Amino acid sequence: MLDRDLARRRFLVVIRKTAAVWAGKATGTLSRITGRGGGTTLPGDVARAIDPKILTRLAQDLTYGSVVITGTNGKTTTARLLSWLLEGAGHRVVSNRAGANLIFGATAAALNRAGTDGRLKADWGVFEIDEASLPKAAAEIQPRATLVLNLFRDQLDRYGELESIAKKIEQALSAQPETARAILNADDPRVAEIGLNLSHKPLWYGLDDTSVASKTLPHAADARTCPRCGSSLIFDAVYVGHDGVYRCPKGDFARPQPEITATDIMLDGFESIALSIDGTRIEMPLGGLYNCYNVLAAYAVARSIDLAPSYIAERLRTFKAAFGRQERIEFRGRHLVLVLSKNPAGFNETVRTAVELANGKHFVIGLNDRKADGTDVSWIWDVDFEQLRDHASLVIPAGVRAHDLAVRLKYAGVAAEAPQTDPGKALDLLIKSTSEGDTAYLLCTYTAMLDLRAELVRRGWASPYWET
Amino acid sequence: MGLAILGNMKFTVGWLYPDLMNIYGDRGNILTLLRRAEWHGFEASVVELGRGAATQMDEVDVFFFGGGQDREQALIYDDLRQFKQASLQQAVESGAQVLAVCGGYQLLGHYYQTADGERYDGIGLIDVRTEAGKKRFIGDVVVLSAIDGLTPSTLVGFENHSGRTFLGPNARPLGKVLKGHGNNGSDHQEGCVQGGVIGTYMHGSLLPKNPHLADHLIAGALRRRGGGALSHLDDSAELAAHGWVLQRAQRR
Ligand SMILES: [Zn+2]
């Protein structure tokens, strides 16, 4: 009797899982056909409604397990780097690629790769997960490794304050079994604070090259004080935002010594970076110091699962950036570089890279305030747009909140064009005001990027993002 | 630009705890005060008033006090009372202006009471008290200003707070809420004005999109030095951003 009950229950679980997979997959197909975007999260909603445990069940089908990636900036690029490394080594990888990094996106991605028998046919899961969703996602996915990249202020309207996000991440990592590895950025004081509180020692990584560091914190720096005593931290090097080499003057808190470090860093605009990790020289077609962090993080995970350094270096040479993260598009003889920039720390770095390293002259700055961008745009006042003054010859404020940007640029002393809330008109103005052969940088928040890109797609200059 | 007679006059902004209380783009308020004072013909500068003994507080024309995260806010409670309270009071009595946003607004009042009933004393510079609420108020705010002669008469901003602030008899509201929640979500009031002190939940940042309020603060501070009317500036960009928020509020 009991055995029959158990068998029946198991049967029902399989049926439910299969039904959830089928319903989810059908939803995905439908939303692609009807042109409602790439079907990146809706299938996840549908499947989770039928079987709330669907993500756990699918994750258990993976041959080797999952890596979960969280943090404010760099999730998509780092996930893509890691998938690239795993795929090159012959693994089948499932990942939530189109920037749909909530738990529904992860579920949808897993569904997409499940077979008609309801089983997920892949070796590895690489999931980028929003900081706020981490506890739930990690509990469901039960990852082998969790990577925490950084913690900057971002979308305060949605996530609440940095402090509560840090607590959530700590809670998620503490709940994991001893076999799961936490891989953390030692250069970020908030991330370090989390890691130092854990009972299992994390794997720390960090940059180690003061030639690319500055001495002073930017306006956008958040973690300025010691988590133990509240004193102002001393920064001996600042790399990106508040990420750097720091210590408390009272001696009760300091950057943990990283096991995996990047040295001899060379930066060449948005074109390329070169860095040495553990004596392995890596050169690759991605730009900006912030991408050194992403590469280092992906390397740390790859090493923790025993991919060979020489293989990693060779494979990364041919990496291609994800949608909107330094995408290059030819547009009527102009070279467009699309760079997603969504918060002060990220924006400062992309502006710095465009101005200082790439000698950029032509810019479209896109600001939207939809849910995915964050509905509060006050953060633009923490971005150092002053960097554009005396360098840029054309700056077009674009997006839903183009008028706010125009005011920001005015007070930064930057002579900008009239604000363009219509993406088509922004592109028209760009073409009119630049010459063939010019390079223009489109620095945009998430949905502002989607809008501009959709316009490029409509005009036939780019392919829809879910096909890239 | 500006009146020749004011040519060499100084204008000083005092930024309270710039490193700890600057969560919602508060730098926008500072930049707006500085740039506009320059455009009006003054020699503008900022004094950063961080933790520890503060100097130069008597030179300040307009103080700005922004919002912080809970942890940062906790770090300044004692410092505010020990090192800033007396000289801030003195400055206000002698005609300096204060703009306090969000956390700064709460700290200038009598107290902030948490959901557990625990009270954190403010410095009582303004007659307001704040209690923690359950729901967080987040979104656009449009206010019909109660300040005489302000043109346009609207103020626009963005709120993000769970505190409910109530005004005592000595404080007047900054304005009437047309859109959003304001002080407490129940009495349709937003912010407070008491003498030269303005407290508000509106950021966004506030002053860049409300240049008339910025000039009101600058003019108010200069009155004690016998400063006359400010020169007229081209505010078309600022008012376009202001108008955009108004338009959206009407659409919804
Ligand atoms: Zn300390």
Distance A254 CA to ligand 1 centre (A): 8
8 A C-beta contact, residue A83 and residue A305: no
Q: Within a domain: residue A10?
A: no
Count of beta carbons in the 10 Å neighbourhood of residue A247: 16
The reply to whether B233 touches chain A by the CB within 8 Å rule is no
- Residue A104: the pLDDT is 82
Residue B4 domain-assigned (yes or no) = no
B28 Cβ contact list (under 8 Å, min separation 6): A378, A380, A381, A408, A411, B204, B205, B206, B207, B208
At A219-267, the pLDDT tens digits run 767 788 999 999 999 999 999 999 999 999 999 999 999 999 999 999 9
Among A173-177, A463-467, B58-62, B73-77, the minimum mean pLDDT is found in A463-467
How far is the alpha carbon of B125 from chain A, nearest alpha carbon, in Å?
26
- Scanning A132-171 for CB atoms below 8 A from B yields 153, 156-157, 160-163
Residue B2 covered by a domain: no
Q: What is the pLDDT of residue B4?
A: 45
pLDDT at A49: 87
Q: How close is the nearest chain A Cα to the Cα of B5, in Å?
A: 25
Confidence band (pLDDT; 50, 70, 90) for A467? very low
Residue A387 lies in a domain: yes
- Considering CB atoms only, which of A161, A378, A407 is closest to B69? A161
- Asked if residue A386 and residue A341 are part of one domain, the reply reads yes
Any idea what the CATH number is for the domain that residue A283 is in? 3.40.1190.10
What is the average per-residue pLDDT within A127-153?
93
Q: Is B232 a catalytic residue?
A: no
Q: Quick one: A352 and A301 in the same domain?
A: no
Domain boundary among A265, A296, A316: A316
- Contact at 8 Å (CB) between A96 and A40? yes
Residue B138: domain span: 10-251
Residue B169 resides in a domain: yes
Q: What is the reported pLDDT for A147?
A: 98
Task: Give the range among A1-10, A54-63, A389-398, A400-409 with minimum mean pLDDT.
Answer: A1-10
Check B110, B181, B203, B216 and give the catalytic one: B203
Is A422's Cβ below 8 Å from some Cβ in B?
no
- Burial class for B154, CB neighbours closer than 10 Å (0-12, 13-18, 19+): buried
**A54 and A178 co-located in one domain:** yes
pLDDT of residue B71: 79
Same structural domain, A118 and A265: yes
Tell me if B111 is assigned to some domain: yes
Q: Which residue range(s) make up the domain with A440?
A: 326-467
Give how many domains chain B has, as a whole number.
Answer: 1
Residue A184 in contact with residue A204, Cβ under 8 Å?
yes
B28 touches A at CB < 8 Å: yes
- Interface check for B161 against chain A (CB to CB < 8 A): the answer is no
Q: What's this model's pTM, rounded to 2 decimal places?
A: 0.88
Of B70, B158, B209, the CB nearest to A376: B158
Point out the domain boundary residue: A316, A346, A365: A316
Q: Give me ligand 1 centre to Cα A231, in Å.
A: 5
Among candidate residues B29, B23, B101, B65, the one with its CA nearest the CA of residue A222: B23
Q: Per the structure block, which two tokens stand in for B89? A: 């009071």
Candidates A170, A368, A411, A420: best to mutate against B (most CBs of B within 10 A) is A411
Cβ(B16)–Cβ(B102) below 8 Å: no
- DSSP characters for A357-379? IT---EEEEE---STTT-S--GG
Across B73-105, b (16+ Cβ under 10 Å) vs e yields bebbeebbeebbbebbeebbeeebbbbbbbbbb
Peptide bond into B18 cis (omega under 30): no
Average pLDDT over residues A141-145: 96
Of A316, A351, A380, which one is at a domain's C-terminal end? A316
CB A71 within 8 A of CB A185: yes
Look up the CATH number of the domain holding residue A380. Answer: 3.90.190.20
CA of B47 to the centre of ligand 1 (A): 26
Cβ neighbour number for residue A224 with a 10 Å cutoff: 17
User: Would residue A207 count as lying in a domain?
Assistant: yes
Interchain contact, A378 vs B244, CB within 8 Å: no
* Beta pairing partners, A363: A395, A441
For residue B131, the SS3 value is strand
Question: Is B192 in the active site?
Answer: no
CATH number of residue B60's parent domain? 3.40.50.880
Contact B238 A163 (CB under 8 A): no
Residue A396 lies in a domain: yes
A60 and A195 in a single domain? The answer is yes
Q: Identify whether residues A218 and A337 lie together within a single domain.
A: no
Distance CA A60, CA A6 (A): 20
Domain count within chain A = 2
A321 domain residue, yes or no: no
Does residue A1 belong to any structural domain of this protein?
Answer: no
List, in sequence order, every residue forming a beta bridge with A443; answer none if it has no partner.
Answer: A339, A365
Asked if residue B1 belongs to a domain, the reply is no
CA distance A37 to B244: 28
- Per the domain annotation, does A369 fall within a domain? yes
A11 located within any domain: no
Would you state the pLDDT for residue A283? 95
Surrounding ion ligand 1 within 5 Å at CB are A 226, 228-229, 231, 248, 250, 252-253
Query: Which pLDDT score is estimated for B1?
Result: 42
> Could you tell me if A346 and A311 lie in one domain?
no
Contact A271/A339 with Cβ under 8 angstroms?
no
* B124 touches B109 (CB < 8 A): yes
Chain A residues touching residue B32 (CB < 8 angstroms): 411
Predicted confidence (pLDDT) per residue in B68-106, tens digit: 887 788 889 899 999 999 999 999 999 999 999 999 999
DSSP character for A141?
H
- All residue ranges of chain B with pLDDT < 50 are 1-4, 6
* Whether the Cβ atoms of residue A44 and residue A21 lie closer than 8 Å to each other: no
Instruction: Clarify whether residues A224 and A194 are in a common domain.
Output: yes
Question: For the segment B13-36, what is each residue's pLDDT rounded down to a tens digit?
Answer: 999 999 888 888 899 999 999 999
